[in-house]
Structure 1
Amino acid sequence: MRISSTLAVALATTVSEASVVHRAADAGGVCPPIWTQISKQLTTMFVSADGQCNHDARTAIRAAFHDCGTWNQAQGPRGGCDGSLFLSAEENARVENRGLQDIAVKLTALARSSGVGVADMIAFAGAHGTVSCPLGPTVKTMIGRIDSARPAPNEGLLPGNSSESADSIISLFADKGFSAPDVAALIGAHSSAQQFFVDPTRAGQAQDRTPGIWDVDYYADTVSRTPSVFTFQSDMNIASDPRSGPTFKSFIGQQVNWNKAFADTFSRMMLLGVQANGLVDCTSALPPPRDNFPGANLPVNAAPGAPSGGGSSGSSGSGASGGSGGSGGSGGYGGYGGPGGPGKGAPGGPPGFPGGPMGGPWGMWGGRKGLAVAARDVHVAPTPAAVSPST
């Protein structure tokens, strides 16, 4: 795989192949103020005008998995979360890291301009990307890793393909210290994922119906084989395996439980290969979570904008008038531009009533505010049925 000239220059100006750099935190154990400034810049980078997390946030989360996930027990207190994903041109160009080159340039540049380590930047940005997504949890984030430009062992330490067996994935993560239920929690990061390389003809297709929201639609969509989303065979294998499947299905409709499990497991992943001495807690530098958001956790058969169940009228917005209410639902999504608002869509009723404009980025929601009441807390009961591994 060819690496871009921009990335090649960025990598060439980092550290030599054999060197390491320790980006120590404040001696007193207090999170350096620079991370609060970095956090503000990442919020601008990761959150779109509609309040959802964007492509940069998704790739930052994936980068943290790929930097840290190359560790196994044989490596001991080295490797893993060391920044080599960005600092080693060889590692960055591996096929499993396709699509991470742009975020590598952006985050490496931010680390350099801020005077912090690349390994810490990858981990912090991964945690930030998670909480930048609506409903995303706060992940405990430690700072003080050692940077290394030595490439991680090229030994298949990351899941290799989209059809990998559950046995292979569970064994791979067991060698990193994670259980099968841990795998079921971690794989939920696909809630905000899009695929670009498994099937290039469907590049950009999301792996659940709400890729800009960190919700549990992913679990319901995977189990129900929702046609409108792109589901990896490997994900279905994890959903149906007796070791990981029960936990996987238990997250359907259970946002709080999944957030807790994911945050715990992801925080442990971001310490793989990291020496504990000198680390400080910079979790407080992350933005606060947003526990509610319009359109999150839709019923399995409901497309965004057509929820079932009644709801109160939403506040006015700057979008076009709300669409017709869903079956027993609120007004649909407001469009962009023009006056608009949610209105009270009666069951099968008329379009939402137009409202006055609202300034700021939230104005674009229009009728979407009303959608929140109907759809936000609607959960899908877990199903005991196993998922067939067939395509």
Structure 2
Amino acid sequence: MKLSLAYLASIATVSASRTTCSKGRTAAIATCCVWYNVLDDLQANLFEGTCGDDAHDALRLSFHDAIGFSRKDQSKGAGADGSLIKFADIELDYAANEGLESIVMAERDLADAYGVSYGDIIQFAAAVSVRNCPGGPRISFMAGRPNATHAAADGLVPNPFDSANTILARIQDAGLTPEELVNLLASHSIAVQEHIDPTIPNTPFDLTPGIFDNNFYRDTLLPGFVTPGSSLHTGQVLSPFKGEFRLQSDFALSRDLRTAGRWILLSLDPFLMASSFATSMAKMALLGQNPGILHDCSEIIP
């Protein structure tokens, strides 16, 4: 088949419009090039290309930063703005943020080294961390968030001992639906508990913590038979398998009429789980932000 000169010219035009970045890589938008360098550093020196503790913490940090937003009272926080890094001296003292100190400092150093905003580094690192986990979906990444101007208020991050009513009210005040909350809880498929019960640190929420799969949703629906440790703690309920930790809040949401249907759907369809998580993560990453001033650097995500 012969290719027309016009077609060949169009290919050349598209190719020429892309910016050449480091190591011969290209980007549609020149301002996205810096993220290739951040990616290299992040993977080599923090995540080491694995779905390990730092990757888990980066994902947790993205939620804790973004959920610091209230539609009723926007003075409480500006959402996904990096306030948890910018005002770490304040927000790391909040009980809900226990255990985030190391990842906050690591991401702060990365952001400072490459001149990117704290809000951007938090959401970028989270998107990369998910891709390091087998089965993890590709999440879009928008860059250009301005740095936070004030700390988020305490009490905006839901706790595992909160009731379903309390959690859903908090989530909806931040701008997310009950269905989106259930989608976002897929993050527990690759997470572990560290601080709820300090006697059994690094206990997973399902038995495949290194794999992004829907075992978490299926396990939560099962009745509890054994405790993962010597005793139950606040925020914990009986788990179906030894060596598995189940949050009281997850148990409640899996059985609440407003969220149970979605929970069951995700327990049956891992592909729906992955795609729904990616969509809801992308929305969460924009809470409190103005998408009109951001630029799409999603192609940098591995």
- The answer to whether TM tops 0.5 is yes
Query: Residues 217-228 of structure 1: matches in 2 within 5 Å?
Result: 217-224=215-222, 225-227=239-241, 228=243
- State the 1:148 CA deviation: 1.7
Kept after mapping to 1: 8 A contact 2:193/2:202: yes
TM-score scaled to structure 2, two decimals?
0.80
Aligned sequence identity (%): 31
**Alignment partners' CA distance in 1, 2:105 and 2:129:** 16
Change (3 A) 1:44 1:253: farther
Query: Residues 42-191 of structure 1: matches in 2 within 5 Å?
Result: 42-45=42-45, 47=47, 52-76=50-74, 79-88=78-87, 89-154=89-154, 156-160=155-159, 162-191=160-189
TM-score scaled to structure 1, two decimals?
0.62
- State the 1:186 CA deviation: 0.9
Deviations 1:47-106 (A, max 9, x none): 56xx75000000000101011111111345961111110111111221111110001111
2:247 corresponds to 1:232: yes
Equivalent AA in structure 2 for residue 158 of structure 1: V
**Alignment partners' CA distance in 2, 1:285 and 1:75:** 35
- Higher relative CO (CA 8 A, sep ≥ 6), structure 1 or 2? 2
**SS of structure 2 residue aligned to 1:251:** helix
Query: Residues 371-386 of structure 1: matches in 2 within 5 Å?
Result: none
**Alignment partners' CA distance in 1, 2:110 and 2:244:** 33
- State the 1:31 CA deviation: 4.3
Q: Which one has the bigger helix percentage?
A: 2
Residue matched to 1:273: 288
**SS of structure 2 residue aligned to 1:151:** coil
Change (3 A) 1:133 1:245: same
2:263 corresponds to 1:248: yes
Equivalent AA in structure 2 for residue 262 of structure 1: F
Equivalent AA in structure 1 for residue 240 of structure 2: T
Equivalent AA in structure 2 for residue 229 of structure 1: E
**SS of structure 1 residue aligned to 2:130:** helix
Structure whose alpha-carbon radius of gyration is higher: 1
**SS of structure 2 residue aligned to 1:164:** coil
Kept after mapping to 1: 8 A contact 2:164/2:252: yes
Equivalent AA in structure 1 for residue 171 of structure 2: F
Kept after mapping to 2: 8 A contact 1:79/1:152: yes
Equivalent AA in structure 2 for residue 218 of structure 1: F
**Alignment partners' CA distance in 2, 1:47 and 1:157:** 28
Task: Report how many aligned residue pairs link the two structures.
Answer: 256
Deviations 1:119-168 (A, max 9, x none): 110111111111221111111110000112521022x21103x2221111
**Alignment partners' CA distance in 1, 2:46 and 2:128:** 8
2:300 corresponds to 1:285: yes
- State the 1:278 CA deviation: 2.3
**SS of structure 2 residue aligned to 1:240:** coil
Kept after mapping to 1: 8 A contact 2:29/2:297: no
Unaligned runs of 5+ in 2: 1-27, 223-238
Considering only aligned residues, what root-mean-square deviation do their CA atoms show, in Å? 1.8
**Alignment partners' CA distance in 1, 2:265 and 2:254:** 10
**Alignment partners' CA distance in 2, 1:46 and 1:216:** 26
**Alignment partners' CA distance in 2, 1:63 and 1:233:** 21
Equivalent AA in structure 1 for residue 215 of structure 2: D
List 4+ stretches of structure 1 deviating above 6 A: none
Change (3 A) 1:240 1:101: same
Residue matched to 2:205: 207
**SS of structure 1 residue aligned to 2:209:** coil
Equivalent AA in structure 1 for residue 157 of structure 2: L
Deviations 1:167-188 (A, max 9, x none): 1111111112222111111112
**Alignment partners' CA distance in 2, 1:73 and 1:274:** 12
**Alignment partners' CA distance in 2, 1:285 and 1:46:** 17
Equivalent AA in structure 2 for residue 186 of structure 1: L
Residue matched to 1:371: none
**SS of structure 2 residue aligned to 1:252:** helix
**Alignment partners' CA distance in 2, 1:278 and 1:30:** 15
- State the 1:220 CA deviation: 1.2
Residue matched to 2:278: 263
